[in-house]
């Protein structure tokens, strides 16, 4: 299955010759909505080929501590995105966010199908209720995805290179990881576009809302990291932190420096597939580069 070809049309790779985009313009909107709408990959989770695994590999897969959390995270993301799409009036943005919601639901289905195929038990999911403030939850989900995707890029690459899991299994998740790169690129451009289209006071209010949800997403990840470290120290392992508790079992040779270095390189590589005139998620690469300055060499 060659998803890369389907996801990288030439029109997006050759747009360096085009004049720069004015943030908040119709052209900007068409370009960032295009990252979702034009680069959509119509794969069907039901026909993905799950490779046969040895008992050893199956046990390794089963021992990963984050499957329940991953499924619920995708379920929440999907229902929050759809709630946002339902409130948006601009037809193009509405269509793009609804597609984002569809893709999150499809990620959940890919995970469920895989767990089902390999006989890995999953806790029953509680119903996903619609958020009261759709925009707030959409922004929180967007910043959360910016944090998570950065680490997912690194962990995915390390899992791929380590040979810890068969390449046919790792490859099935390439479209999922790539879709997250599209989602966060769409999101940061949507934030800039939405802010630019407001007058001064509503714009300041919107920016304050973004700042608050960014802080909430950061605190959420920090508290999970703390819980994961405690759990790791106590030898129990956490069940809701992919990076801290899952990373070491997903790949070998994982150190904070290695993970950040690989994540930075992968972030650059994945983002290079999109229209270069669009904004890129900056916060995590910036934090990653800062942290590298203080981390000891491996």
Q: Using CB under 5 A, which of the segments 33-41, 143-151, 202-210, 242-250 binds Fe ion?
A: 143-151
Name which of residues 201 to 230 contact Fe ion (CB under 5 A).
Answer: none
Q: Using CB under 5 A, which of the segments 104-112, 198-206, 226-234, 276-284 binds Fe ion?
A: 104-112
Nearer to Fe ion, 82 or 231 (CB): 82
Tokens 């966060």 sit at which residue? 184
- Work out how close the CB of 143 gets to Fe ion at its nearest, in angstroms, rounded to a whole number: 12
Nearer to Fe ion, 160 or 183 (CB): 183
Nearer to Fe ion, 103 or 275 (CB): 103
Answer whether 146's CB lies under 8 Å from 284's CB.
Answer: yes
Count other C-beta atoms under 10 Å from residue 222's C-beta. 11
Site for Fe ion (CB under 5 A): how many residues? 6
Helix boundaries (H) for 118-199: 134-162, 167-172, 174-196
Nearer to Fe ion, 102 or 164 (CB): 102
Nearest to 114 by CA among 176, 169, 44, 37: 169
Taking CB under 5 A as the criterion, the residue among 21, 76, 79, 104 binding Fe ion is: 104
Taking CB under 5 A as the criterion, the residue among 106, 107, 157, 182 binding Fe ion is: 107
- Work out how close the CB of 189 gets to Fe ion at its nearest, in angstroms, rounded to a whole number: 14
Whole-angstrom distance, CA of residue 279 vs CA of residue 266: 17
Compute the radius of gyration of the chain from its Cα atoms.
Answer: 19
Whole-angstrom distance, CA of residue 272 vs CA of residue 235: 40
Nearer to Fe ion, 231 or 267 (CB): 267
Is residue 273 a contact residue for Fe ion (CB under 5 A)? no
Residue nearest to Fe ion (CB): 183
Q: In whole angstroms, what separates CA 242 from the centre of its chain?
A: 12
Q: Using CB under 5 A, which of the segments 18-26, 31-39, 172-180, 212-220 binds Fe ion?
A: 172-180
Name which of residues 177 to 206 contact Fe ion (CB under 5 A).
Answer: 180, 183
Nearer to Fe ion, 143 or 193 (CB): 143
User: How many residues in total does the chain contain?
Assistant: 298
Cα separation of the two ends of the chain? 36
Name which of residues 28 to 87 contact Fe ion (CB under 5 A).
Answer: 74
- Work out how close the CB of 149 gets to Fe ion at its nearest, in angstroms, rounded to a whole number: 7
Nearer to Fe ion, 145 or 266 (CB): 145
**Helix or strand holding residue 287 (H, E):** helix 283-294
- Work out how close the CB of 260 gets to Fe ion at its nearest, in angstroms, rounded to a whole number: 21
Nearer to Fe ion, 111 or 264 (CB): 111
Q: φ and ψ at 251, to 5 degrees?
A: -150, 175
Q: Using CB under 5 A, which of the segments 12-20, 61-69, 86-94, 140-148 binds Fe ion?
A: 140-148
Q: φ and ψ at 123, to 5 degrees?
A: -65, 150
Nearest to 263 by CA among 286, 237, 245, 235: 286
- Work out how close the CB of 182 gets to Fe ion at its nearest, in angstroms, rounded to a whole number: 8
Nearest to 85 by CA among 103, 68, 108, 67: 103
**CB-based contacts of 186, cutoff 8 Å, min separation 6:** 32, 33, 35, 36, 96, 100
- Binding region for Fe ion (CB under 5 A): 74, 104, 107, 145, 180, 183
């Amino acid at each position: 299955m060659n998803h890369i070809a389907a996801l990288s049309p030439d029109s997006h790779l050759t747009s360096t010759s085009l004049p720069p985009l004015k943030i908040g313009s119709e052209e900007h909107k068409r370009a960032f909505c295009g990252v979702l709408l034009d680069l959509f990959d119509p794969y069907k989770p039901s026909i993905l080929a799950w490779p046969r695994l040895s008992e050893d590999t199956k046990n390794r897969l089963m021992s990963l501590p984050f499957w329940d959390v991953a499924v619920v995270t995708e379920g929440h993301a999907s229902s929050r995105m759809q709630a946002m799409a339902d409130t948006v009036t601009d037809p193009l943005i509405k269509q793009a966010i609804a597609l984002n919601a569809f893709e999150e639901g499809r990620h959940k289905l890919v995970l469920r199908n895989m767990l089902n195929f390999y006989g890995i038990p999953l806790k029953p999911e509680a119903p996903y209720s619609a958020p009261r403030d759709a925009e707030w939850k959409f922004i929180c989900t967007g910043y959360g995805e910016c944090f998570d995707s950065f680490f997912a890029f690194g962990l995915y690459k390390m899992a791929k290179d380590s040979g810890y899991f068969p390449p046919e299994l790792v490859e099935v998740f390439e479209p999922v990881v790539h879709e997250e790169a599209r989602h966060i690129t769409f999101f940061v451009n949507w934030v800039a576009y939405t802010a630019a289209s407001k007058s001064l006071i509503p714009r300041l209010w919107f920016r304050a809302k973004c700042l608050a949800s960014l802080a909430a997403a950061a605190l959420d990840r920090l508290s999970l990291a703390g819980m994961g470290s405690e759990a790791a120290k106590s030898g129990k392992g956490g069940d809701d932190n992919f990076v801290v508790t899952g990373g070491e079992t997903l790949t070998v040779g994982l150190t904070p420096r290695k993970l950040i270095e690989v994540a930075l390189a992968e972030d650059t590589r994945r983002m290079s597939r999109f229209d270069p005139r669009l904004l890129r998620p900056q916060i995590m690469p910036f934090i990653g580069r800062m942290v590298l300055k203080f981390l000891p060499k491996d």
